[in-house]
Amino acid sequence: MEWKDGGVFRNASRDHILREVADSLRRLRTDYIDIYQVHWPDPLVPIEETAEAMQALLDQGRIRAIGVSNFSVAQIERFRRVAKLHVVQPPYNLFERKIEKELLPYCRESGLASFTYGALCRGLLSGKLQEDAHFGGDDLRLTDPKFQPPRFTQYLTAVRHLDQFARQHYGKRAIHLAVRWLLDQGATAALWGARHPGQLQPIDEVFGWSLDAAAKTEIDRILRESITDPVGPEFLSPPPRSKPAVLEAAQ
């Protein structure tokens, strides 16, 4: 990503990646980065150029593993023709399940690790949010369509039912169920955003139990009945940079 003129834009060009890595290594005061991930595919840069830059960094030992985030299977296949790929980072949670169709099975078949983001759907699945929740500043939830009425009510209803289900069957809460479900679906790691260390305390309750097929069917029923107007995470997608005039003229 490129922070420019007060905005954040996609930029997966070779030059930008090399500059970003150098800046990160300097700021982190380290010689290498364990996993380096391309944040978004960039429509203005051929995937092969991005992949070549990442492979060069791997070969030089400046990064130790390569990842891509928000890439489709077709884009991943193009990338893998040029560079090694270790991990993908798609959005995935009980409310946002697009990857089940293609990407998750693809990861399983090709031995790719999946670090899925948005485990709690930006806090919705924490079970702490109420109808009168207020968000301020640059909080993404101000524009997230799930958090606007009347949809917000539907999602909160689903969380309430999931919480009841988790309590009755496992002695757990919605937050534990949400993360357990991700891991039982086959995600390698569930990225869970925390504003302070205390928010990670529920992690202990995620382990030592699992959800079987019957439980997953019941969860799906709850989702289907509570959320009549579902919407995905597309609003998260950042804009590309504006096309250079030369490229525009050539098309």
Ligand X SMILES: NC(=O)c1ccc[n+]([C@@H]2O[C@H](COP(=O)([O-])OP(=O)(O)OC[C@H]3O[C@@H](n4cnc5c(N)ncnc54)[C@H](OP(=O)(O)O)[C@@H]3O)[C@@H](O)[C@H]2O)c1
Binding site for ligand X (CB under 6 A): 39, 69-70, 89, 117-123, 126, 128, 175, 191-195, 199, 202, 236
Alpha-carbon distance of 147 to 69, in angstroms, equals 24
CB of 160 to ligand X, least distance (A): 15
Q: How far apart are CA 8 and CA 118, in angstroms?
A: 19
Of 87 and 211, which has the nearer Cβ to ligand X? 87
Our CA dihedral for 42, 44, 47, 53, rounded to 10 degrees, sits at -90
Q: Show Cβ contacts of residue 126 under 8 Å, excluding neighbours closer than 6 positions.
A: 120, 174, 175
What are the backbone dihedrals phi and psi of residue 176, each rounded to the nearest 5 degrees, phi first? -70, -40
> Whose Cβ is closer to ligand X: residue 165's or residue 192's?
192
Which residues, including other chains, have CB under 8 Å from residue 146's CB and lie 6 or more apart? 95, 121, 122, 124, 152, 155, 231
Q: Quick one: 121 or 159, whose CB is closer to ligand X? A: 121
Q: Which is nearer to ligand X, 220 or 234 (CB)?
A: 234
Task: Please give the C-alpha separations between residue 76 and each of 66, 81, 105, 138, 153, in angstroms, as whole numbers.
Answer: 12, 9, 13, 31, 36
Supply the minimum distance, in Å, between the C-beta of residue 15 and ligand X: 22
Position of minimal CB gap to ligand X: 193
Identity of the residue numbered 135: F
73 contacts 43 by C-beta, under 8 angstroms: no
Work out how close the CB of 101 gets to ligand X at its nearest, in angstroms, rounded to a whole number. Answer: 19
Q: How far is the CB of 191 from ligand X (least distance, A)?
A: 4
Q: Read off the tokens for 185.
A: 């679906």
In whole angstroms, the minimum distance from the beta carbon of 214 to ligand X comes to 26
Considering the complex, state which of residue 157 and residue 199 has its C-beta at the smaller distance from ligand X: 199
CB of residue 22 to ligand X, shortest distance in Å: 21
- CA angle (177, 234, 4) in 5-degree steps: 115
Contact 39, 75 (CB under 8 A): no
Find the shortest distance in angstroms from Cβ 70 to ligand X: 5
Nearer to ligand X, 45 or 121 (CB): 121
Cβ-based neighbours of 61, under 8 Å, separated by 6 or more = 31, 32
Nearer to ligand X, 55 or 199 (CB): 199
